Structure 1
Amino acid sequence: MKTIKLILMTLLFGLFLLQGASLYAQDPMKASPNVYKKVLLENDKTRVMEVEFKPGMAVAWHSHPNHVIYALTSGKIEITEKGKTATTMEIKAGTAIYMPAVTHMGKNVGITTIKLIVTEMKPMMQKKMNSMMPAAKKK
């Protein structure tokens, strides 16, 4: 009886570890090197990446801390956030978009190659910026 209980506990623990690993999406540079082309800058405050989505290309599940996207070219992209339905965005060249921390996947559903610059704010920088913001006024 003890042996069966030990085996069941070991299997349950193994399943827990396996499930836990799948809950955390990968770094975008590792998850989709076919789209996330290179790191342009990385330091203790930010990471800046060059992104190039050819039509039909998809990005695997990955995560970002708070980040800003700057569109070098226009295009149409489908984004699916964890636990939500997919949404389609028209991106216009020359626009910047702020995105809060997210786990998502994406696909170029348009007919043009989309080129982006993605700038992630590292957690220590986010804490520093939050502490510099004035406290919200109470009503």
Structure 2
Amino acid sequence: MTRFQLLAICLTATLATNAFAQDMAATAGDKARVVLDNARVRVIELNMPPGSSTGVHSHGDNLVVFLTGGSAVQTMADGTTKTIERKPGEVSWSDPVTHDTKNTGKSATRTLVIELKDAAP
């Protein structure tokens, strides 16, 4: 297999993954609730029971406010995983990402995901 063919296969797989990634409010089902949606931001309240996951979804630029602490594993579009340990009140920033998040802790977690939209005029 030539380098060009390998590159073409990798690019196709990446584009296919991104094309099928969905909005978290849709993939997380009743665990996600949009609490604010306007021209500048969308705020999603996410309540995750132990062992539950969001399903594969995409975000633009966003920040997450951890209302409760907990443990999670994120699986990225390329298959890599990242373990997360958060305390109540922590805030994190994320550049655009496609991933799945699973609550690996023993208790439910509650977060606010604040997705930024286009800049103000």
Q: TM-score, normalised by structure 1?
A: 0.71
Structure 1: gaps spanning 5 or more residues: 1-15, 130-139
Matched, 1:118 2:113: yes
* Cα drift, residue 90 of structure 1: 0.3
Partner of 1:60: 55
Candidates 15, 31, 35, aligned match of 1:40: 35
CA distance in 2, matches of 1:30, 1:21: 19
* Cα drift, residue 34 of structure 1: 3.0
Q: For 1:70-123, what per-residue CA distance to the aligned partner results, in whole angstroms no more than 9, with x for missing partners? A: 00001000001111411111011001001111000010011011100000001x
Partner of 1:49: 44
Partner of 2:75: 80
Partner of 2:5: none
DSSP 3-state at the match of 1:23: helix
Q: Which has the higher contact order (CA 8 A, sep 6+)?
A: 2
Instruction: Report the identity percentage.
Output: 31
Partner of 1:102: 97
- State how 1:4-23 maps to structure 2 within 5 Å: 23=18
CA distance in 2, matches of 1:89, 1:22: 23
Q: Which has the higher helix share?
A: 1
Q: TM-score, normalised by structure 2?
A: 0.81
Extract structure 1 runs of 4+ deviating beyond 6 A.
none
Q: Which has the higher strand share?
A: 2
CA distance in 2, matches of 1:81, 1:48: 22
Number of equivalenced pairs: 108
